[in-house]
């Protein structure tokens, strides 16, 4: 399990630290957490907090009133064996509770955000930073707001198409290798740190997209909505000509829609990628299917005849 730097964590979520022991090295302090918990069930001794970051919500005040000080302290002491950090909003948390967790020795991370909001932000971050990603050979962009993976064998032209899409103001996530994470049943992709911002185009070489076109064209990560797989032209292969359904590809137990796009001489592949994404959005959000529309027109025409 990957450890998390406390210093970086505090900086990322704009937290204020309190009750940090002078015997500890703040610069190098790390902790384990693969998710979050409110701590309520743990205080009631119904569950354990191992490998969970505790983020107090307003219910902790009710539990304190219900259990009384002595039993409440017993519950917190059991939590302290596995977890030394508590995130809380002081305005939401009873002052007596704050004093108790200080006395026990918890590191307190204070936030100005409501507990529901800070937990919603921290949970996916912990999942992504602590899990082992699946690295796939692909180029990733955000086209019309959709996270798109361009896949296909090496040398087929993914990077060249990506460069043209970037020149059309679509956002660049990464080239050649994409690390894929699963968060709450959805997939997210990002470029490995060492290759981030770089794009390799045969005949031109390696390009730094950020320095060439600016920070605004770079997106560090994105949800994966759609896969377009480039294939060599093959007349014998049975390609979908009607577009009445999508195949899917399973990555980390999540099914992602995928289409096969043959590379043919004279085709503007970047334009086809844009059209494919718009068509996908139309089907997903507007529930409009061109084949159904065409069939309805044919039926209506036959009735008129």
Active-site position among 52, 119, 158, 170: 158
Three-state DSSP state, 223: strand
Paired tokens of 104: 């026990």
User: Active-site residue 8, yes or no?
Assistant: no
Question: Strand (E) positions, the chain?
Answer: 4-5, 16-18, 30-31, 35-37, 52-55, 85-88, 107-110, 134-137, 139-143, 146-151, 171-174, 177-183, 186-190, 198-201, 205-208, 221-223, 226-232, 247-251, 254-263
**How far apart (Å, rounded) are the C-alpha atoms in residues 293 and 296?**
5
Paired tokens of 305: 């005849």
Where is 76: in which H helix or E strand?
A: helix 69-80
**How far apart (Å, rounded) are the C-alpha atoms in residues 163 and 200?**
9
Question: In 132-264, which ranges are continuous DSSP H helix?
Answer: 158-167, 209-213
Active-site position among 2, 137, 223, 252: 137
Q: 17-38: string of b/e by CB count within 10 Å (b at 16+)?
A: beeeeeeeeeeebeebbbebbb
CB 135 within 8 A of CB 38: no
User: Active-site residue 182, yes or no?
Assistant: no
Active-site position among 18, 51, 82, 176: 176
Paired with 9 in beta bridges are none
User: Active-site residue 158, yes or no?
Assistant: yes
Active-site position among 193, 235, 241, 305: 241
Paired tokens of 239: 């390609």
DSSP secondary structure string for all residues of 239-257: --SS----EEEEETTEEEE
User: Active-site residue 18, yes or no?
Assistant: no
Which residues are part of the catalytic machinery?
137, 158, 176, 241
């Amino acid at each position: 399990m990957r450890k998390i730097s406390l210093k970086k964590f505090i900086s990322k979520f704009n937290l204020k630290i309190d009750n940090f022991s002078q015997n500890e090295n703040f610069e190098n302090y790390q902790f384990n957490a693969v998710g979050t918990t409110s701590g309520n069930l743990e205080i009631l001794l119904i569950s354990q907090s191992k490998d969970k970051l505790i983020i107090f919500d307003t219910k902790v005040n009710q539990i304190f009133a219900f259990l009384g000080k002595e039993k409440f302290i017993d519950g917190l002491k059991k939590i302290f064996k596995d977890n030394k950090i508590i995130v809380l909003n002081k305005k939401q948390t009873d002052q007596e509770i704050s004093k108790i967790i200080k006395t026990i020795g918890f590191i307190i991370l204070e936030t100005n955000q409501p507990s529901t909001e800070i937990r919603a932000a921290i949970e996916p971050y912990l999942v992504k930073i602590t899990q082992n990603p699946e690295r796939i050979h692909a180029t990733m962009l955000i086209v019309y707001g959709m996270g798109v993976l361009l896949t296909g064998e090496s040398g087929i032209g993914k990077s060249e198409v990506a460069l043209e899409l970037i020149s059309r103001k679509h956002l660049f996530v990464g080239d050649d290798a994409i690390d894929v994470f699963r968060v709450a049943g959805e997939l997210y992709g990002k470029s490995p740190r060492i290759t981030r911002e770089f794009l390799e185009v045969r005949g031109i070489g390696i390009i730094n997209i950020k320095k060439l076109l600016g920070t605004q064209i770079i997106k560090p990560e994105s949800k994966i909505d759609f896969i377009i797989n480039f294939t060599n032209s093959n007349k014998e292969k049975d390609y979908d000509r009607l577009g009445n359904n999508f195949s899917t590809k399973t990555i980390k137990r999540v099914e992602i829609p995928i289409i096969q796009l043959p590379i043919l001489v004279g085709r503007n592949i970047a334009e086809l990628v844009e059209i494919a994404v718009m068509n996908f959005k139309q089907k997903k959000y507007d529930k409009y299917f061109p084949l159904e529309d065409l069939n309805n027109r044919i039926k209506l025409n036959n009735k008129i005849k």
